[in-house]
Chain A
Amino acid sequence: MMKLDFDDWNIHVGKPHPFNERVRPIDNGTGRPDPARYHDPAFMAQEWDRVFARSWLLAGPASDIPEPGDFFTFDIGPESFVIVRDDEGAVRAHYNVCPHRGSRLVTSDFGSLSRFTCPFHSWKFDLEGRNIAVTDEETFRPEVLCHGHDLTSVRCEEAVGLIFISMDDGIAPLREWLAPILPQLELYEIDQMYVVQHRRSDWGANWKGGVDAFAEIYHLHAVHPQTQCLMDDRTQIDLWPGGLSRQFVPFAQPAARYADQETVNPGIQLMLRDAGIDPATFTGTAAQTRAAVQQAKRARSDALGLRYDRFSDSQLSDSVVYSLFPNVQIGCHPEAVFLHRFLPHATDPNQFTYDTCILYRHVDAPGYSAPAWMGLGADVDMSGATRPEIVHTKLGEPPCLGEVLDQDSELLPVVQAGSRSRGFKGPLWSEQEGRLRHFHAELDRRMGQGA
């Protein structure tokens, strides 16, 4: 029996809510793309020029630079950018490159300063990127400095508490591009969240291998069997123009493939406890636990004034995952969001850096906390007062990102190897992988938009 859309997978067990409505389908066809896109250096170079250099790229959360002079660096592909809040409170982004000889201006992940001083010859720049000192300026012929000695800036805009940059001066405004999903993302009030965990890990695969693996849950039963008792792979997928998409991943109920659909297993018990339900007194079966979690969270919101009426029931229990073209996914929960970025390597199509950041909404109230499955240890400062360091693991090191992500990091090089085989003619995507096909279709459109 064919199952080419998910209308009869009625994943929404709670009350009907406009958020859950499916959008008009987009047909991306049935083509099988050439797997060269995963390993060809020429494809990678063109991808950089035609896609990355012309897109909005998620640089970081605005909560990382609250005060004037606060900056963070954003490294992607061959580039490094410095994102800084200026004296007027506006956010600016500059290539992290001194115009004199090309040195990096800053080498740390974060910091706070009133001006940039190049480490090489101490040229100085204000937060807006204007040159304020050429050391020994009298030893430069004016024609040399006339080439321009300010920092080169790029477009930089904020939406939903996140900062995006674009190397394309002529790109449409950020909010225009994000329009189809902007009202949905706004519900999560990411601007009131803080980074509580930030990890970076180098993986032996193309960045699109990362996008592909994170944009479908078809592989859960095979790669992450331990999740089958509490994460369902019956799903809802919505696609929007511009390569944007979302997917519901139902939590607190077993996957269809899971043998025992009745018992409230220890995984589900944990999720009940997170929502304030005592599993010992819970009388229903695993078919009722997801709804119970939704109701308990709604009751807790009423008690604490969390205004969860803006969320549908599914939003309370599930992971609602958004894809932002080209290289970002955001996993959304009322308590926290996960920013996943798939950063291409500077030169090697067979490597990328996976960057994952958890932003948490702190509420100082009894019974409210981050769900246990998020894996935030007891040593994590949940208040937002301390910005945790970025932990970076290199290629070949175990990423230590938790069991599920470590499984992905082991798998991806194996898939990457297959893409290089002359025995592999290209991926065969099902409708459970509709977001992958949608992403690649957009990539192809952008690649086709000449040089």
Chain B
Amino acid sequence: MNYDPRSWAVHKGSDHPFDRPAPPIDNGTARPDPARYTSRAVFEQEWDRVFARAWLLAAPASDLPEPGDWVKFDIGPESFIVVRQEDGSVAAHYNVCPHRGSRLVTGDMGSQGSFTCPFHSWRFGLNGRNQKVTDAETFHPEVLCHGTDLSSVRCEEAVGLVFLSMDPDAPPLADYLAPVLPMLETYRIDRMHVVQHRRSDWAANWKGGIDAFYESYHLHAIHPQTMGVIDDRTHIDLFPGGMSRQFVPMAQPNSHFPDQTGINAGIAALMRDAGIDPDGFEGTAQDSRAAVAHAKRDRAARIGLDYSHFSDAQLTDSTIFGIFPNAQIGCHPEAVFLHRFKPHPTDPEQFTYETTILYRHVDAPGYGAPGWMGLGADVDVTGATRPDVVHTGLGEPPGMGEVLDQDSDLLPIVQAGARSRGFRGPLWGEQEARLRHFHAELDRWLARE
């Protein structure tokens, strides 16, 4: 038996504080009712009790460098404008004109000094204050007294990311993120820029997306092509508030991969990314992960990057943080991946998967984005050009690369099972401990009036 995945030797002899395991949290062995994936009542309660009260990852701060820069953030039935104000702080407003309810902006992002409603040209400042009611003299004053400003929501920044909350009484963002904040800070996301941004509609509940991205147990079955280079022997830490992290070791073979010693083509590519010539490498696949870490540390020293706060595991692995309720951040020294699982406005059996790659540009020889990140030669990695959001609809192949396309094929057939009277609820192993932890937190929020 191995109920405690922390006993897997992911951090061979490391004494780095980042790698230290968190105190265990016991979430039990129960089997939840699968209605949570299909029921409209659960879906509506989730919106009111979870999404309307939590901090939601809205945008990277680097998308809003200057006053007037704004990003539209859509989630569930809502749309928000997240905007940089004149004083340099960020604000967020419902993307809804108080006059008749029209959306104010319809693009994904932009920059402007004020917002003008497309319906009757009412105008609002960046802070949401009404600047102009068209033909104000044709309104009874008592009508305008109901309020003519935009409705704003809480909006705060941390680790280079902008979050918002519809709950005016939400705790400060830094308190909400406290268990993982110092760890996320090591990646300096504030110095990164978006180099790829994709959105795709999937035929499953948003929690089906969370579940699939929160465990590496399925790699051998759904993504067998990764078995040579991504290990499923993992290290999972659970933190209060539904937060979690998981190390996914890279540059060494999976436990289910037959050849544990040969330097396969996948590992060779990861070595080359780190500046190692695999042909001259004398070790086996049991040594390649450590070699990649050392090579990256040497390269950092050479080009003046401070990697001293990173553990070796952080240099090689994907270190993934679960941010309750619906975000996951995959961290690497060179780049982070923001994954968001956004509920559909009305249908519990659909969600939008949104993935953003933020890259730390360093103009130095031998430094670049690892090849597996799949950034094409046409991508401007300097951050000078913000790429467009590419959105694929339901049923369209998302074209997100082989691994994500495999997930998008799978999720609808898992969703279908949730509707079956032959399915009594998921049986989560300890490799799926982050799922159980997430659902336990969700249940706590749903239980609050």
Contacts and interface: CB of A to CB of B under 8 A. Distances in A.
Chain A bound to chain B: yes
Interface of A: 53, 78-80, 94-104, 107, 118-122, 135-136, 138-141, 143-145, 147-149, 151-152, 154, 167, 346
Contact of A101 (B220, B417, B419, B422): B417
A79 B420 contact: yes
Nearest to A97: B417
A53 B419 CA distance: 14
Nearest to A146: B29
B7 to A, nearest CB: 11
A140 B417 CA distance: 21
B1, B217, B255, B422 pick with most chain A CB within 10 angstroms: B422
A122 B427 CA distance: 14
B217 A136 contact: yes
Contacts of A99: 423-424, 427
B434 to A, nearest CB: 13
Interface string B118-139: 0000000000000000000000
B222 A119 contact: yes
A140 B413 contact: no
B217, B255, B428 pick with most chain A CB within 10 angstroms: B217
B221 interface: yes
Nearest to A140: B429
A138 B410 CA distance: 25
A151 B424 CA distance: 11
A79 B5 CA distance: 35
Contact of A103 (B1, B410, B419, B431): B410
Contact of A122 (B29, B220, B422): B220
A120 B407 CA distance: 10
A317 B410 CA distance: 50
Nearest to B414: A103
A115 B414 CA distance: 20
Given A99-B423, A99-B424, A139 B430 contact: yes
B34 interface: yes
16 contacts: A78-B420, A80-B420, A95-B420, A97-B416, A97-B423, A99-B427, A102-B416, A104-B414, A119-B222, A138-B1, A140-B429, A143-B29, A147-B31, A147-B425, A149-B427, A151-B422
B421 interface: yes
B372 interface: no
B418 A102 contact: yes
B3 A139 contact: yes
A154 B410 CA distance: 25
Nearest to A134: B429
B218 A95 contact: no
Given A79-B422, A136-B255, A138-B1, 12 more contacts: A98-B417, A102-B426, A104-B416, A104-B417, A122-B221, A139-B217, A139-B429, A141-B3, A144-B427, A144-B428, A149-B427, A346-B419
Interface of B: 1-3, 5, 29, 31, 34, 37, 211, 217-218, 220-222, 255, 410, 413-431
Nearest to A75: B416
Nearest to B4: A139
Contact of B430 (A94, A122, A140): A140
Given A80-B416, A102-B417, A147-B427, A154 B422 contact: yes
A406 B427 CA distance: 46
Q: Determine the main DSSP class of B at the interface with A.
A: loop
A120 B424 CA distance: 17
Contacts, number: 111
Contacts of A145: 427
Contacts of A98: 417
Contacts of B1: 138
Contacts of B221: 118-122, 135
A144 B429 contact: yes
Contacts of B417: 97-98, 101-104
A98, A101, A136 pick with most chain B CB within 10 angstroms: A101
5 shortest A-B CB distances, which residue pairs? A95-B422, A102-B417, A143-B29, A152-B422, A104-B413
A86 B86 CA distance: 73
Nearest to A119: B221
Contacts of B431: 136, 139
B8 to A, nearest CB: 10
A357 to B, nearest CB: 23
Contacts of A139: 2-3, 5, 217, 429-431
A346 B412 CA distance: 13
A103, A135, A145 pick with most chain B CB within 10 angstroms: A103
B420 A120 contact: no
A101 B217 CA distance: 12
A232 B269 CA distance: 75
Given A78-B419, A144-B29, A152-B422, A103 B413 contact: yes
Contacts of A149: 427
Contacts of B415: 102
Nearest to A94: B422
A143 B2 CA distance: 14
Contact of B410 (A94, A119, A122): A119
B423 A102 contact: yes
B413 A107 contact: yes
A53 B5 CA distance: 41
Contact of A167 (B410, B414, B418, B421): B421
Contacts of B2: 138-139
A104 B203 CA distance: 14
Nearest to B8: A139
B3 A102 contact: no
A53, A141, A152 pick with most chain B CB within 10 angstroms: A141
Contacts of A78: 416, 419-420
B34 A102 contact: yes
A79 B419 CA distance: 7
A99 B29 CA distance: 15
Contacts of B410: 103, 119-120
Contacts of B5: 139
A78 B413 CA distance: 12
Contacts of B430: 139-141
A100 B421 contact: no
B427 A100 contact: yes
B98 to A, nearest CB: 35
B30 to A, nearest CB: 9
A57 to B, nearest CB: 13
B325 to A, nearest CB: 19
A199 to B, nearest CB: 22
A271 B419 CA distance: 48
Contact of A152 (B423, B426, B428): B423
B437 to A, nearest CB: 14
Given A80-B416, A103-B414, A120 B218 contact: yes
Contacts of A118: 221
A104 B31 CA distance: 19
Contacts of B429: 136, 139-141, 144
B421 to A, nearest CB: 7
B414 A101 contact: yes
Nearest to B436: A144
Contacts of B255: 136
Contact of A102 (B217, B218, B420): B420
Contact of B29 (A97, A119, A141): A141
Contacts of B428: 144
A399 B218 CA distance: 39
A346 B417 CA distance: 12
B413 A101 contact: no
A136 B217 CA distance: 9
Nearest to A149: B427
B44 to A, nearest CB: 16
B211 A147 contact: no
A193 B423 CA distance: 35
B220, B410, B427, B429 pick with most chain A CB within 10 angstroms: B427
